[in-house]
């Protein structure tokens, strides 16, 4: 696969992976914890905290989306976002172990956070290296 084709495939993969989390983040901001489908007693503090965290999650997803154009040059930003994602996934895994297995949506989130996100980072690093090598061959940015 050519570097350009691999870059396009990575861009499409990132866009597709973001669809479900974007939906959850927006639902969390708009609906608070009640969007989870259970009618728990939701205190004002729980609602406030849940919407705040959902807002941070939404901002993080927007930052991920901003990496799609020119993804081959967004290594540092993607690594920071990936770090945040994996730490969040580890917190979710802690909940799974200490409280129990969550709903399927949260299980999918765990797979994205601890499986797909690191795989995307590795793939992006490969694409970045391929484009860096291509630029070096063309004599662009030869010495630092």
Long-range contacts formed by 7-12: CB under 8 A, 24+ apart? 7/71, 7/72, 7/127, 7/131, 10/71, 10/120, 10/123, 10/124, 10/127, 11/68, 11/69, 11/71
| pLDDT value for 37 | 77
* pTM metric for this prediction: 0.86
Whether the CB-CB separation of 97 and 32 falls below 8 Å is answered with: no
Could you tell me if residue 32 is left (phi over 0), alpha (psi between -120 and 50 degrees) or otherwise beta?
left
Stretches where the chain sits below pLDDT 70 are: 39-40, 135-144
In the chain, where the domains are located: 3-137
Whether the CB-CB separation of 67 and 78 falls below 8 Å is answered with: yes
| pLDDT value for 136 | 66
Whether the CB-CB separation of 54 and 29 falls below 8 Å is answered with: yes
Task: Tell me the longest C-alpha to C-alpha distance in the chain.
Answer: 63
Report how far residue 82's alpha carbon sits from residue 71's, in angstroms, rounded to the nearest whole number: 14
| pLDDT value for 135 | 65
Neighbours of 103 (CB within 10 A): 11
| pLDDT value for 39 | 64
| pLDDT value for 35 | 81
| pLDDT value for 143 | 47
């Amino acid at each position: 696969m050519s570097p350009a084709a691999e870059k396009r495939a990575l861009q499409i993969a990132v866009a597709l992976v973001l669809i479900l989390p974007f939906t959850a983040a927006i639902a969390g901001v708009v609906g608070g914890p009640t969007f989870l489908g259970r009618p728990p007693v939701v205190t004002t503090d729980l609602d406030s905290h849940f919407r705040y965290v959902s807002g941070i999650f939404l901002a993080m997803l927007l930052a991920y989306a901003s990496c799609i154009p020119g993804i081959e040059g967004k290594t540092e930003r993607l690594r920071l976002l990936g770090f945040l994602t994996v730490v969040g996934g580890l917190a979710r895994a802690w909940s799974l172990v200490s409280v129990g297995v969550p709903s399927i949506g949260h299980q999918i989130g765990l797979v994205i956070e601890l499986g797909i996100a690191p795989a995307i980072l590795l793939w992006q690093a490969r694409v970045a290296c391929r484009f860096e090598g291509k630029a070096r061959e063309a004599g662009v940015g030869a010495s630092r």
